[in-house]
Structure 1
């Protein structure tokens, strides 16, 4: 053994059928007619053979009957000659018999086999014992019957008749009693050979013509019957099948094959099946149009990709993102459309959601750079989830968000949150301004009247200074919330951030009759986050709690170290929970509240549906997470899992 694997030899190509087989294979009617023709030819040959055999047998029987009659006739003549002892007459009788039409020779044999008289004189005196074999001519035998035998000769079959001339009482004077000598002699007649009845003989030709005519008539009737009852309905079915396979769903067999027989039932079944198929395809097209319209209504780019990396479905937002037409996206490989590659993205360089789904079907998130049709690049954040079809195929559903759009949404949501705080901000600024105005008006009146003591003026000015500080603090809180996210995480003091948020929301809490209790341990706790984003998260969660309690209630804010170990540090994590006594969240909606544009407010208002999605994205950017625990009618508890800032940052 050499140890080298040898590839198997390729199998020889099957020979291509000839023109005639291909012509026959293309039509059932041709094969039926060919089969019918072959059957008719075989039937004709069998009929001719049988007719020839029957004719030959009939001819032999007729010949045998004629020979027997002729022998019986000459038997009477011979007996008369014997009674007269007319030897010359007997010889003449044999000569006359030998000259009869169809007779080759005639002989009269003694019972011992010697030829006594013959139509051919040279045969007289010879012996022919073989002609008498099988004939019992001795005393004690029953009178033998004539024996007919056919002998094959080069010229044809020849009949030979051995006709025993029985001893009669009137012959006893010469031949003795019949008991002692039952036979006087044997008349042996050889007839001319019969002409061979070949295929070209007149009887054969007549039989052949009659048989072929009958078979031709039968073939014509059968051909017309097959054409009308079988081949034409089958041709109509085949044509309708071809048109249906070519995409003409409106095709029907119609009345061409709608008889009461089996083909008629097949045709009706075909039309019914074609109608159901057309209705099903139309329904599927409507569902696909509805599905396409539905995903086109989603503002984020959406893709549905098969395990073969081909795009099964894409919305208008995705085509717009890449600068392509939607029709040029569906059916193409995602790596070719989105990245301009000829093969799937390398798993060592890119976290491909489709490859992740093929390895383990579970939700994944990744970032990727896509290439537009004009060659420019766009960074996207991809959230993907598996979808298993009824056939067991696992598809990948991707939702893409351009990073610049995500940042813009985050900033817009932050500014929107500031707009929601307008009432609290107005209260926080209006009250100090009103105090400042009153203090200044009192100071002006006292100065004009020259009656205000110095100490009272100083008190008014100090009041103005304090109220201005309150206004400045309020504007600083707003500025901190409106800042863009920092590129890196920084230590953020939890309590000051929470105090600022509650100060901005204090007026709304009072207006709604909601009490807020805060317990942060330790009071100087700091976590790794972006200060503006953390404040926005707190505003969103407290706002949601206020909306869940339109009739008033209580909000408990607690912060404490948790037992969960941080992924990047040895220290334990930190939990900041916000609990309300509102209406709660249904179990089937808890998995949806963090999805973009999902909004359910207990006060009947309509939100943007982005607040909790941004909270979730912000916590994930902080390296933490957000969790919810709720039940209808029992309030809700949102817990922020944060990473504590290193101790060295607390100085």
Structure 2
């Protein structure tokens, strides 16, 4: 690897500085330790010389050889490495010296700090003092010459005079240290630098082989990962830390590759799941961008799926360059944003608006929206879109489907009157043919025929009212008459299922603001669901009552349908109003549209529908509708047959 790379340059620079610092430290330490060793050796030699001189002094003093003592000091001062020598009396006067100029001089400062008198508890040991001289260190030895009993004749007893004198020896600066410095300058420093260079080259080679090349391979591998090539693997071998790191990179890449494949599969499944929905669906970001959309949404607007994602919703769905004005249209995004700004959780929203097809034609839709939080915590809004034209068609088709389910019971209801009519007519014809019938008997047969025909007409009128298209505007509808008609149509089905019915509506003439056919359809669906929930028979109770409280449009009337059937599991209860969700207790497959259409019809007229259930005990459905007589209205309407409920169901029981 070339040293021009950033890592190599930094390593070379830092290692060079480290080597130089270490080498300098080692050199300084070696010089310091050598110098210290020289000093210790010099001190030991100085003490040995002082001890030898002390012995010579004692010998000269015993012989009373003062000239020999003076000669000894003069010769001592001329020894190599010794600068001067002097013998001081305890008071500080120089008695003998290698330099005659010092004789009889007082050098008491040299004895400062020494304890050499009888009053001292312990005599001072020889003192070694280093001082700066000529740029190096020079040594002075202050050596007390102790009194001995054999010297008592001249100097007195040892107890009274423990020290005869003090020997001062001044040594020259260490020649060995200067020699060592010269040698260091001539060969030690170059040799050290050469050794340092060899060590640096060896270290650089090792770093290049063991560190830089593996790190370069890992950097190349990381670059391939950053470009999305998760199939790349390292080629670093060995059992060191870098090899472990390389294997960790390989393991991480394998896991990332598997997770990316799983995420991609989940994304494909999510898209397929969304595309499987027959209703158009779209997920919007807070900046109006379309994050996710299904095929039904693209087909609704006449566009391709790939040109929808990432585009603003107002441009795709309404062909507008700017977002929809919040003052003219209830935008789900704006509504959710305002709730979040107020610190509230955005509730589910429902609005009606007009989309625009790619060819320019308008599409009236109903939008159900709910807030959603993305994977990274970003606010999103999911919209379920239902074209109003399809809703109307589905409602009408479901209504006709419900009529078809009534065919069996209706056929039985019509068959009996027709059979009675046929018997009456046959009896009348036979009597007229053989002139055996009386006038009163013939009139009775004709009245029976007339009654049975009225019964058939009433049944067909009820079916016709149930299948009529919905009115655009809500009208007052008599609740009791509508319920009675539905119960009459379902009487045979309820009888076969062993279901009894109790009906209680207060006031009996209560009316709601709704379309009559829609109200009958809602009651048919709720009653049929209740009957199917009681396969072994049971009690069906229908109650109606006015609710306390006020609304903007007026009061509400609640119609409740309660059964004693199998009930609905808690986990399924939130799903029963969803389109195409069907879980019938009799085991048969339903369309799953009945309750969804009931909810749409009720909410479209400003009402609400809810359900509660206890598994094994039964269910209760409550429908709240605007009360048509909230402000005081005339008495309730009579049914088209002229009776307020001619179904055979009495108040309180059937």
TM-score for the superposition, normalised by structure 1: 0.67
| 1:344 is the counterpart of 2:327 | no
**Superposition deviation, residue 338 in structure 1:** 2.4
Alpha-carbon distance change, 219 to 478 in structure 1, aligned in 2, over 3 angstroms: same
Alpha-carbon distance change, 268 to 544 in structure 1, aligned in 2, over 3 angstroms: same
The 2-side partners of 1:305 and 1:341 are apart by 16
8 A Cα contact 1:25 1:31, kept in partner: no
Counterpart of 2:485 (choices 500, 518, 542) is 500
| 1:224 is the counterpart of 2:205 | yes
**Superposition deviation, residue 502 in structure 1:** 0.9
The 1-side partners of 2:365 and 2:265 are apart by 32
Alpha-carbon distance change, 352 to 214 in structure 1, aligned in 2, over 3 angstroms: same
| Contiguous gaps of at least 5 residues in structure 1 | 1-22, 51-135, 142-148, 151-202
Q: Which residue of 1 aligns with 2:553?
A: 568
| 1:239 is the counterpart of 2:224 | no
8 A Cα contact 1:491 1:649, kept in partner: no
**Superposition deviation, residue 355 in structure 1:** 2.2
Q: Which residue of 2 aligns with 1:413?
A: 398
| Structure 2 residue matching 1:560: 3-state secondary structure | strand
| 1:613 is the counterpart of 2:596 | yes
Q: Deviations over 1:103-142 (max 9, x none)?
A: xxxxxxxxxxxxxxxxxxxxxxxxxxxxxxxxx987568x
| Structure 2 residue matching 1:296: 3-state secondary structure | helix
| Structure 2 residue matching 1:551: 3-state secondary structure | coil
Q: Which residue of 1 aligns with 2:285?
A: 306
| 1:356 is the counterpart of 2:335 | yes
The 2-side partners of 1:649 and 1:248 are apart by 80
Q: Which residue of 2 aligns with 1:157?
A: none
The 1-side partners of 2:101 and 2:574 are apart by 127
| 1:386 is the counterpart of 2:371 | yes
Aligned Cα root-mean-square deviation (Å)? 3.4
The 2-side partners of 1:243 and 1:447 are apart by 106
| 1:555 is the counterpart of 2:540 | yes
8 A Cα contact 1:585 1:632, kept in partner: yes
Q: Which residue of 1 aligns with 2:644?
A: none
The 2-side partners of 1:481 and 1:564 are apart by 31
| Contiguous gaps of at least 5 residues in structure 2 | 29-97, 104-132, 135-184, 340-345, 638-654
| Structure 2 residue matching 1:563: 3-state secondary structure | coil
| 1:600 is the counterpart of 2:583 | yes
Counterpart of 2:262 (choices 283, 291, 310) is 283
Alignment of 1:484-499 (within 5 A): 484-499=469-484
Alpha-carbon distance change, 245 to 438 in structure 1, aligned in 2, over 3 angstroms: same
The 2-side partners of 1:551 and 1:229 are apart by 83
Higher relative contact order (CA 8 A, sep 6+): 2
Q: Deviations over 1:215-264 (max 9, x none)?
A: 765555444323222222122111111111111121222x33x4333322
**Superposition deviation, residue 410 in structure 1:** 0.7
8 A Cα contact 1:301 1:401, kept in partner: yes
The 2-side partners of 1:362 and 1:388 are apart by 13
Alpha-carbon distance change, 575 to 616 in structure 1, aligned in 2, over 3 angstroms: same
8 A Cα contact 1:24 1:31, kept in partner: no
The 2-side partners of 1:305 and 1:344 are apart by 13
Once the two structures are overlaid, the 10-residue window that deviates more, 542-551 or 385-394, is: 385-394
TM-score for the superposition, normalised by structure 2: 0.67
Q: Which residue of 1 aligns with 2:89?
A: none
**Superposition deviation, residue 293 in structure 1:** 1.9
**Superposition deviation, residue 207 in structure 1:** 11
| Structure 2 residue matching 1:252: 3-state secondary structure | coil
**Superposition deviation, residue 25 in structure 1:** 9.4
| Structure 2 residue matching 1:565: 3-state secondary structure | coil
| Structure 2 residue matching 1:628: 3-state secondary structure | strand
Q: Which residue of 2 aligns with 1:540?
A: 525
Alpha-carbon distance change, 271 to 490 in structure 1, aligned in 2, over 3 angstroms: same
The 2-side partners of 1:27 and 1:490 are apart by 85
The 1-side partners of 2:15 and 2:267 are apart by 52
Q: Which residue of 2 aligns with 1:330?
A: 309
**Superposition deviation, residue 29 in structure 1:** 3.2
**Superposition deviation, residue 486 in structure 1:** 0.6
8 A Cα contact 1:554 1:581, kept in partner: yes
| 1:586 is the counterpart of 2:565 | no
